[in-house]
């Protein structure tokens, strides 16, 4: 190798190593803090209202508003689900994705938002918590965890029309 080739090789190796170190550093923490507020972006397990997860969607309209706050957005579109490939990976809010939890991904809703998802073809409903970003496929408005997809019979079709109702409860994970 000539000297100029060695220098070029060393430079490219350094850049590749530097970029790899930067990218791996992005996923070393399971807790993130908002720069603006200094508030942790990942709820402490005691802050997550587990009673909502156990109830599935047994709450009637007046009860759900009492529990979650006022309804502030309703929209309809296509839903899909994600599972095995992402199980155990970090979600956009820094927690580990568990396909057996009632969670979902949305492009813009604040983390921690509680959303009632209704399958428009069969009327089945599920209450999920937003903890990730997505879906990244055009025309879809929400990606559900495997467990949430089971609740509304989405597994066989894979994609279905849904209505999402977002409640303005006090989110501790904005």
In 3D space, the residue among 48, 165, 166 whose CA is nearest the CA of residue 110 turns out to be 166
Does 145 have pLDDT greater than 60? yes
How many whole angstroms separate alpha carbon 105 and alpha carbon 103? 7
* Residue spans of alpha helices (H) in 26-156: 50-55, 61-68, 146-151
pLDDT of residue 20: 59
Specify the pTM: 0.64
In 3D space, the residue among 84, 129, 86 whose CA is nearest the CA of residue 104 turns out to be 129
Q: How confident is the model at residue 24 (pLDDT cuts 50, 70, 90)?
A: low
Query: Residues 88-112: what's their mean pLDDT?
Result: 94
Cα-trace Rg, the chain: 20
In CATH, which of 1.20.1290.10, 2.120.10.80, 2.40.40.10, 2.40.10.10 is domain 49-167? 2.40.40.10
In 3D space, the residue among 148, 106, 104 whose CA is nearest the CA of residue 125 turns out to be 148
Query: Residues 2-6: what's their mean pLDDT?
Result: 81
How far, in Å, are 43, 55, 153 from residue 144 at the CA level? 20, 17, 12
- Give the pLDDT confidence of 43-58 residue by residue, as tens digits: 433 344 444 443 455 5
pLDDT of residue 59: 58
Q: Are 97 and 88 a contacting pair, CB within 8 Å?
A: yes
pLDDT of residue 51: 42
Average pLDDT in the chain: 78
Q: Where are the beta strands (DSSP E) in the chain?
A: 71-82, 103-105, 114-119, 125-132, 140-145, 160-167
How many whole angstroms separate alpha carbon 156 and alpha carbon 34? 39
- Give the pLDDT confidence of 114-139 residue by residue, as tens digits: 999 999 999 999 999 999 999 999 99
Q: Kindly report the number of other CB atoms within 10 A of residue 148's CB atom.
A: 27
- Give the pLDDT confidence of 27-83 residue by residue, as tens digits: 433 333 333 333 333 343 334 444 444 345 555 656 776 788 889 899 999 999 998
Which residues share a beta bridge with 132?
Answer: 105
How many whole angstroms separate alpha carbon 118 and alpha carbon 15? 49
Q: Higher pLDDT residue, 96 or 174? A: 96
């Amino acid at each position: 190798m000539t000297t100029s080739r060695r220098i070029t090789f060393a430079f490219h190796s350094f850049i590749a190593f530097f970029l790899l170190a930067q990218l791996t550093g992005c996923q070393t923490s399971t807790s993130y803090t908002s720069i603006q507020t200094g508030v942790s972006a990942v709820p402490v397990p005691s802050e997550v209202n587990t009673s909502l997860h156990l109830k599935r969607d047994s709450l009637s309209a007046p009860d759900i508003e009492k529990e979650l706050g006022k309804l502030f957005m309703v929209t309809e579109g296509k839903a899909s689900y994600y599972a095995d490939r992402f199980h155990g990976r970090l979600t956009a809010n820094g927690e580990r994705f568990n396909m057996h939890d009632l969670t979902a991904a949305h492009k813009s809703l604040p983390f921690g938002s509680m959303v009632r998802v209704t399958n428009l073809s069969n009327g089945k409903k599920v209450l999920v918590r937003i903890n990730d970003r997505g879906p990244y496929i055009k025309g879809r408005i929400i990606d559900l965890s495997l467990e949430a997809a089971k609740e509304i019979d989405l597994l066989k079709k894979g994609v279905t029309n849904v209505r999402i109702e977002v409640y303005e409860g006090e989110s501790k994970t904005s």
